[in-house]
């Protein structure tokens, strides 16, 4: 029995010894470690670039009155008219005291107050001119849905109700004020005073809407104004009153934002993009100086395809794309202080006919954007938008069907701005698109 | 008797659990099926693990199955051991000390007839415990890097069935059937760009290997021996899961996919040994063994393998036979061992050199003894991608002589 006790004591004493934990600071043979699981970086995968054209963009209800035009050497002439319908909360003059007194109100003036929303694109040092016209047609969509599009137009009377020529100061100033036609104001005032306009219906029947039309003569910028705070203000006062307190205002605003839209037109004649095909087709970058183009407002977008991604399955028997980075480089001299680069790119997933199935998402299902690395550097070599497309490419690689998805790149605010971007493709001289795929075999 | 069965099973259970947590964590365990254990029985650790020519008379000699032919009748031998190791890991930039304990072996042997014996032993063959934290590695053909963290565990076990037979007075022949089994677990995490990929792999190994041995007593003081280990294939198969973590979301790439991996090959190993006793109290043992790892065509998956030479020299001294005083019965031992290593890392061999001293403390008036051995050794070298391990090792082997089993039967 003593021996058993001896053995047990022996074993127990062995178990009681502790073992120090390994912090893993020592490694031998890092080459060997890389052997069973190879991590490779592949940057030679073919990326095709092309330019596409969305036939229409819904521009109503975008909270921006966009007015202006500029002549772009690459994209041609771009022009934005803004249509809207006004309304107010009370279609009546102020009633103080007895009814008989209201008779004594007189019209003073009418003006449009447009509040800058800080958006601008183009040369704001140049004078911009635009006119206010009266719509001869109700602000009502022709289409089955309730949207107006960048190519929607409404008829308006040629007579100008007001005009302004000004130097836009969207960041320094708060608003601009446009004196409107006295006749127009007087007539509107009388309609209300005489109780011929008493509600929304009678008002919109009388004043169907307004349109702001830039003068193509000298404008070279597009300026954004706020839909919610811009207004037409009617000034009136008591007859023969010289007291400030006896002056009154009546504001007309865009209370229904769906009744406001920007009609953004583009004339690409003579530019490299003049042969941009219909919306289900594409114009390869090989035909457009090895460049892809994006222009907000007019529906020009850049499409990127990965024709050989399925061949990745043949790299090793088992492997996965763990991460991938697509770096899109804006072409030198296609941007400047006046035509600044947007901070990000919006990325959609589309099919061969440019039908968008949704935003590009990461593994967590949240939208992926292209992030601008830096605004500029000495040679603009590192200026680029980086998009993380690992999850997308892994899915594309494993997809059973033959169909391939492409990425469609636009700028944020595609329907309410006119920013543009020119990107280089893989054969571009200075600003090549780069695709880095991190692949691991297992 | 019941009591004993309970104790024995309890004991076996404990030893088996400790097998599974074999904890030698050497950076070299990354290679092959892990770092190989040296778990020798009796006083062999004290004499530099030499002893191909030693008989299994007072302890079980695990180095040569032929030794079982020299077992004494009516003796049931039992051996159990453990090691405490204190290792200093040294690279060109840092030094770290770690202590650990390893279960060494469990074995018993008994004579079958008056000229043959059988033994059964269980011991760890290898340990693949290692850890790598955030190692920065270059991505091939690029300026970029990725990071690896890895953790290995598990290892292979060795179950030996040995039989030795004596032909006449001088020659014994023996054979061992070795079952190698076990699994290694390898969990790796790769941080590549902004995504983490984890690869969790369990590889199962199983295989059988034969060892043949012979010993020849030239005269009463001089014995020679040889062993011949047959090349063997250890079948390997793995079960692997791969997941990817990107954008804080984990997605599975493959889950528990079973597949074949390259099998592990054990080489042909030929050993020679001699044992000579001088003046009845000094015994010298000398071994040489060559392992032909180079001809195994081992898959590069396991590393770069080269032929290995192993030299061992040992001395034992005991003052007198049948001494009256306990102190006079204590045996003293010393030995050296040099091993060129079978692994080549960055075209450097991972060699190993050690010396050892030990005591053999007899228990009662049988062959039972407690063997304590201390050894100091060096493994590897400091180079670019290599590290040096300096270790102090204390081995405790309890060798029990079970003559009492017979006694009980008589009672």
pLDDT of residue A17 exceeding 50, the answer is no
> Do residue B193 and residue A27 have CB atoms under 8 angstroms apart?
no
pLDDT of residue A9 exceeding 80, the answer is no
pLDDT of residue B394: 92
Q: Which distant-in-sequence residues (6+ apart) come within 8 Å of B321 by Cβ?
A: B280
pLDDT of residue A22 exceeding 80, the answer is no
What 3-state DSSP class applies to B109?
A: strand
pLDDT of residue A169: 93
Read off the tokens for B379.
Answer: 């493994």
> Do residue B197 and residue A322 have CB atoms under 8 angstroms apart?
yes
Question: CATH for B2-410?
Answer: 2.40.160.60
Domain boundaries, chain B: 2-410
Q: Describe the crossing of helices B2-20 and A2-16 by its angle, rounded to 10 degrees.
A: 20
pLDDT of residue B8: 57
Alpha helix segments (H runs only) across B325-383? 326-329
B203-257 pLDDT per residue, tens: 999 999 999 999 999 998 999 999 999 999 999 999 999 998 888 888 888 999 9
pLDDT of residue B198: 93
Q: How far apart are CA B247 and CA B249, in angstroms?
A: 5
A128-184 pLDDT per residue, tens: 999 999 999 998 887 678 889 999 999 999 999 999 999 999 999 999 999 999 999
pLDDT of residue A65 exceeding 60, the answer is yes
> Do residue B193 and residue A323 have CB atoms under 8 angstroms apart?
yes
Give the whole-number percent of chain A exceeding pLDDT 90.
Answer: 56
Q: Could you tell me if B240 and B257 are in contact, meaning their C-beta atoms sit under 8 angstroms apart?
A: yes
A275-313 pLDDT per residue, tens: 888 888 999 999 999 999 999 999 999 999 999 888 888
Query: Judged by CB atoms within 8 Å, which residues 34-53 of A form the interface with B?
Result: 34-41, 43
Q: Could you tell me if A262 and A66 are in contact, meaning their C-beta atoms sit under 8 angstroms apart?
A: yes
* Structure confidence at residue A4 as a pLDDT band (50, 70, 90): low
Q: Which distant-in-sequence residues (6+ apart) come within 8 Å of A193 by Cβ?
A: A93, A102, A105
Question: CATH for A39-55+278-441?
Answer: 2.60.40
Read off the tokens for B54.
Answer: 């030693």
Q: Could you tell me if A47 and A433 are in contact, meaning their C-beta atoms sit under 8 angstroms apart?
A: yes
B253-290 pLDDT per residue, tens: 899 999 999 999 999 999 999 999 998 889 999 999 99
pLDDT of residue B21: 43
Compare CB distances from B193 to A10, A36, A438 and report the shortest one's residue: A438
* Structure confidence at residue B22 as a pLDDT band (50, 70, 90): very low
Query: Which residues from chain B sit within 8 angstroms of residue A20, using beta carbons?
Result: 97-100
Q: How far apart are CA A292 and CA A300, in angstroms?
A: 10
Q: Which distant-in-sequence residues (6+ apart) come within 8 Å of B51 by Cβ?
A: B40, B44, B61, B63, B64, B273, B275, B285, B287, B312, B314
Query: Judged by CB atoms within 8 Å, which residues 411-430 of A form the interface with B?
Result: none
Q: How far apart are CA A62 and CA A78, in angstroms?
A: 19
Q: How far apart are CA A364 and CA A381, in angstroms?
A: 32
Q: How far apart are CA B144 and CA A40, in angstroms?
A: 10
pLDDT of residue B407: 47
Average pLDDT over residues A368-392: 82
Average pLDDT of the residues of chain A: 87
Tell me how far the alpha carbon of residue B20 is from its chain's centroid. 14
Name which of B200, B253, B384 to mutate to probe chain A: the one with the most chain A Cβ atoms within 10 A of its Cβ: B253
- Which contiguous run of DSSP H or E holds residue A190? helix A182-193
User: B370, exposed or middle or buried, with CB in 10 Å at 0-12, 13-18, 19+?
Assistant: middle
Compare CB distances from B300 to A23, A35, A39 and report the shortest one's residue: A35
Q: How far apart are CA A442 and CA B53, in angstroms?
A: 47
Residues listed for chain A: 442
Q: How far apart are CA A205 and CA A224, in angstroms?
A: 28
pLDDT of residue B411 exceeding 50, the answer is no
pLDDT of residue A97: 54
Domain boundaries, chain A: 39-55+278-441, 64-266
Q: pLDDT higher for B325 or A22?
A: B325
Read off the tokens for A287.
Answer: 């035909």
* End-to-end Cα separation, chain B, in angstroms: 13
* End-to-end Cα separation, chain A, in angstroms: 55
B5-18 pLDDT per residue, tens: 555 555 555 555 44
B157-176 pLDDT per residue, tens: 999 999 999 998 899 999 99
* pTM of the shown model: 0.82
Q: How far apart are CA A340 and CA A119, in angstroms?
A: 12
Average pLDDT over residues B51-74: 92
Q: How far apart are CA A407 and CA A373, in angstroms?
A: 20
pLDDT of residue B410: 44
Average pLDDT over residues A354-363: 90
Read off the tokens for A105.
Answer: 């109100």
Q: Could you tell me if A347 and A409 are in contact, meaning their C-beta atoms sit under 8 angstroms apart?
A: yes
Q: How far apart are CA B213 and CA A399, in angstroms?
A: 59
Average pLDDT over residues B319-336: 83
């Amino acid at each position: 029995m003593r021996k058993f006790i001896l053995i047990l004591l022996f074993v127990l004493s062995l178990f009681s010894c502790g073992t120090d934990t390994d912090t893993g600071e020592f490694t031998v043979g890092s080459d060997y470690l890389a052997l069973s699981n190879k991590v490779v970086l592949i940057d030679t995968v073919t990326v095709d670039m092309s330019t596409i054209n969305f036939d229409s963009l819904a521009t109503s209800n975008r909270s921006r009155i966009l007015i202006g035009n500029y002549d772009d050497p690459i994209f041609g002439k771009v022009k934005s008219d803004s249509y809207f319908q006004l309304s107010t909360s009370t279609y009546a003059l102020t009633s103080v005291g007895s009814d008989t007194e209201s008779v004594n109100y007189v019209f003073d003036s009418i003006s449009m107050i447009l509040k800058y929303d800080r958006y601008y694109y183009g040369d704001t040092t140049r004078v911009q001119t635009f006119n206010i016209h009266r719509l001869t047609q109700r602000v009502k969509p022709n289409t089955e849905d309730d949207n107006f599009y960048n190519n929607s137009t409404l008829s308006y009377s040629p007579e100008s109700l007001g005009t302004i020529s000004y130097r836009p100061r969207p960041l320094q100033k708060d608003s601009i004020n446009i004196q409107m036609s006295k006749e127009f104001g007087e007539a509107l005032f009388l309609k209300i005073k005489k109780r011929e306009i008493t509600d929304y219906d009678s008002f919109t029947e009388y004043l169907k809407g307004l349109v702001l039309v830039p003068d193509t003569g000298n404008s070279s910028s597009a300026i954004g104004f706020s839909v919610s705070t811009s207004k037409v203000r009617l000034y009136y006062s008591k007859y023969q009153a010289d007291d400030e307190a006896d002056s009154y205002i009546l504001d007309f605003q865009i209370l229904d934002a769906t009744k406001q839209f920007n009609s953004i037109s583009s004339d690409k004649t003579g530019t490299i993009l003049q042969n941009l095909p219909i919306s289900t087709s594409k114009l390869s970058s090989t035909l457009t100086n090895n460049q892809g183009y994006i222009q907000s407002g007019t529906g020009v977008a850049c499409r990127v395809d990965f024709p050989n991604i399925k061949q990745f399955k043949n790299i090793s028997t088992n492997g996965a794309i763990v991460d991938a980075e697509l770096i899109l480089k804006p072409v030198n001299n296609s941007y400047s202080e006046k035509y600044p680069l947007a901070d990000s790119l919006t990325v959609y997933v589309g099919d061969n006919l440019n039908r968008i199935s949704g935003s590009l998402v990461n593994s967590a299902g949240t939208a992926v954007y292209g992030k601008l690395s830096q605004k500029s550097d000495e040679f603009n070599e590192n200026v680029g938008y980086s998009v993380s497309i690992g999850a997308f490419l892994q899915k594309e690689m494993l997809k059973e069907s033959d169909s391939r998805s492409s990425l469609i790149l636009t700028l944020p605010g595609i329907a309410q701005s006119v920013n543009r971007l020119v990107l280089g493709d893989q054969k571009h001289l200075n600003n090549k698109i780069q695709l880095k795929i991190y692949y691991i075999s297992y | 008797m019941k009591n004993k069965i309970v104790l024995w099973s309890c004991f076996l259970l404990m030893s088996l659990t400790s097998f599974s947590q074999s904890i030698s964590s050497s950076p070299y365990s990354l290679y092959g099926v892990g770092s190989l254990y040296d778990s020798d029985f009796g006083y062999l650790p004290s004499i530099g693990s030499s002893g191909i020519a030693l008989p299994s008379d007072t302890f079980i000699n695990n180095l040569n199955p032929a030794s079982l032919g020299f077992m004494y009748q009516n003796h049931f031998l039992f051996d159990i051991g453990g090691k405490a190791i204190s290792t200093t890991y040294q690279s060109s930039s840092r030094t770290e000390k770690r202590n650990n304990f390893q279960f060494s072996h469990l074995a018993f042997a008994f004579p079958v007839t008056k000229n043959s014996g059988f033994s059964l032993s269980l011991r760890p063959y290898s340990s693949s415990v290692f850890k790598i934290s955030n190692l920065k590695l270059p991505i091939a053909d690029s300026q970029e890097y990725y990071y690896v963290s890895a953790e290995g565990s598990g290892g292979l076990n060795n179950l030996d069935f040995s039989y030795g037979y004596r032909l006449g007075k001088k020659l014994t022949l023996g054979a061992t059937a070795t079952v190698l089994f076990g699994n290694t677990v390898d969990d790796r995490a790769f941080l590549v760009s902004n995504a983490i990929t984890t690869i969790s792999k369990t590889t199962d190994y199983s295989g059988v290997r034969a060892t043949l041995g012979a010993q020849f007593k030239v005269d009463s003081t001089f014995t020679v021996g040889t062993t011949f280990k047959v090349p063997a294939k250890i079948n390997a198969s793995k079960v692997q899961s791969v997941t990817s973590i990107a954008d804080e979301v984990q997605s599975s790439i493959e889950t528990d996919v079973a597949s074949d991996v390259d099998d592990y090959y054990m080489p042909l190993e030929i050993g020679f040994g001699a044992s000579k006793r001088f003046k009845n109290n000094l015994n010298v043992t000398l071994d040489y063994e060559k392992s032909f790892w180079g001809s195994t065509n081992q898959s590069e998956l396991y590393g770069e393998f080269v032929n290995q030479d192993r030299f061992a020299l040992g001395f034992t001294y005991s003052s007198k036979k049948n001494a009256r005083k306990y102190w006079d019965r204590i045996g003293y031992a010393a030995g050296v061992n040099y091993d060129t290593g079978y692994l080549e890392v960055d075209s450097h061999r991972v060699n190993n050199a050690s010396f050892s001293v030990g005591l053999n403390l007899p228990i009662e008036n049988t062959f039972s003894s407690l063997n304590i051995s201390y050894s100091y050794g060096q493994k590897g070298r400091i180079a670019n991608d290599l590290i040096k391990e300096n270790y102090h090792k204390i081995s405790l082997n309890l060798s029990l002589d079970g003559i009492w089993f017979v006694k009980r039967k008589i009672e």
